[in-house]
Structure 1
Amino acid sequence: MGRRPYRRLINKDALAILRVCRLVYQEAEPLAIPNLEIKCNGNADVIDLLSKMSPVQITQLRNLRVWQFAVGFKLFSGDDDSQSDAPEGGREDMSISDDDDDDDDDSATEAVQYFHLGAVLGLFPGLQLDLLRVHCGVGGGPYTAIHNSHCFQSLLEADGYQRLWMDATTGDSEPWDDILSLETWHDSIITRFRPYSHWRVRLNVPSYADDLVDGLQQNKEWESLQAGRIDLVVNEDSDESDGDSDLDTDCEGTVGIVIDRGDADVAVKRDDSPVLRCVYVDRNGPSPRFYKKVSDALRKLFRENSWEAIKAMDGFYDGAADCDSEGGTVYADYW
């Protein structure tokens, strides 16, 4: 189902045959959604799509392809007293004092908060895709690696898909930022992969990263964690006999990751409320309390407002400028 590259030009005639008569629609509608690959340009477009689907239709969606760039919301106003009353969340081991940390957090929440795709998926209970195909929607430039890596890390923490296929465009920098580190994978292997059977990961890395690959493979903790289920492939050409060869794995300038979640229950849970982690541009990162506070505010925003109302709110950012400005809108203060 072809959604046009920009939301202003959505193809209003898509599936027009289903509008011919009610009988055709009633017979075809249950078959259509599970068999469509729907393409979205940006995380705001994903929200636009899923917000227009019923809860039943969301559970039927099986194939989604996304050119991802972050979406932003202004979740707090400067006079919002509820910020200081947000509940604690996450680890209690803090490297800085609580008082200073709270002051920094409360100041930061007044800005627009940006979210990568993994957080967006968590807003839609019942979502259980067979295949989520993700491309970097940023057109290159120095921020590409940050967008790729932070989006991927958000997806590692997320439910909503059985299989993830992600192509990382290299842009003007390396395709990943710290993707070949034990820290990136540690918690996800323990909580989202290893408890279940038949999970596997395939990661194609560029030839210049062979030293990082060797270092990771020689790490005893890494070996015990992944138990031979993560294949690190250095500069391997695509295999035409591979059943996934139709997924354009040999596109120039991309580095692919394939994750199969195996027997895991991947549906986004209605009563579960994991923290939907926002983008934070400071390399040192905020407190867990900050992430929890922003996550709760994001859920509250979507629980109490329609998508059309949210788009009209002050501070809403659909991400399109990141595509035009090479990703600098979200990460302008990263360095």
Structure 2
Amino acid sequence: MRCACYRIPDLSAVELAREPAEQSATLPLARTLIDLRSRNFAAVRLSPRDALRLPRGFGDRDIGPVTLSGEFVRPGIYDIRRGERLSEVIARAGGLTPQAYPYGAVFTRESVRQRQQDGFSRSARELEQGLMQVAAGQAVAGMRGSADLGGAIMAGRELANSLRQARAAGRMVVEANPVILAGRPDLDVLMEPGDLVAIPKRPNEVTVVGSVLNPGSLQFATGWRAGDYVRAAGGQQRFADGSRAFIVLPNGQSSPAGLGAWQMGGPPIPPGSTVVVPQDPSPYESWGMLRDVTQVLSQVALSSAALAVIVRTGAR
């Protein structure tokens, strides 16, 4: 939904454009401003070919509501005024419940969703272009290593299809804790029509996905790091790339998981996080095809996590 505003005519500055009495291409139009709120505007007589222009002024109300779901005292749909901020809408909804987990808030916006979706499509196109270049180069080289290349191309096509089918959530990373917003007004985001804010209950799990033996959700344990959760999920698979593993935090940010050989498993992670362990992309990188694979996977994982929260809170 595009952001638009209610516009009302400005009756104090109606423009009357009138052609000169003498038909001449060199004489300019005569323009006059009329105040339709005055009593003498009825004396103005219109002539053929006159043109009236009623300027439109901005009102104080935005067209379209915002949606609050999950752990609000009064969740629902709220109309907003121009310039209204997140903290004000939260206050109108009665604030958050004691079970709310504002660190895991999901804030989505349609314009952001469209940019993310375009990014998925662009990454898929670039991947397919790389596949075509590799196939052409291999043909010129005499088809050496065709079996390995065929498997890599097939895997690349599957990833490209997955990117096209992935649904972007349009998530923005925002601060949704009213206590923090009261002290940091610079973090208080301006609302737009069509925005959705979902506040989940405090979770008690951490999800591990990707190249692990037993992906799924595990019970949160205080002080555990990404490495602890990966081991609890059965450990990494043979072709996993721990050095590229990352964490999608509950607020939508992502950070390295610290699973490299010389790393200590990263910092303790909060409940509601998702640990993503990608496969080793080195065969693709040697052909210059997937240098940004971790970034792409991060975007897809972030969107998936956001959509999961929206579904859970929407079912409340």
What is the TM-score when the length of structure 2 is the normalising length? Answer: 0.27
Bigger Rg, structure 1 or 2: 2
**Larger relative contact order, structure 1 or 2 (CA cutoff 8 Å, min sep 6):** 1
Question: Which has a greater percent of strand?
Answer: 2
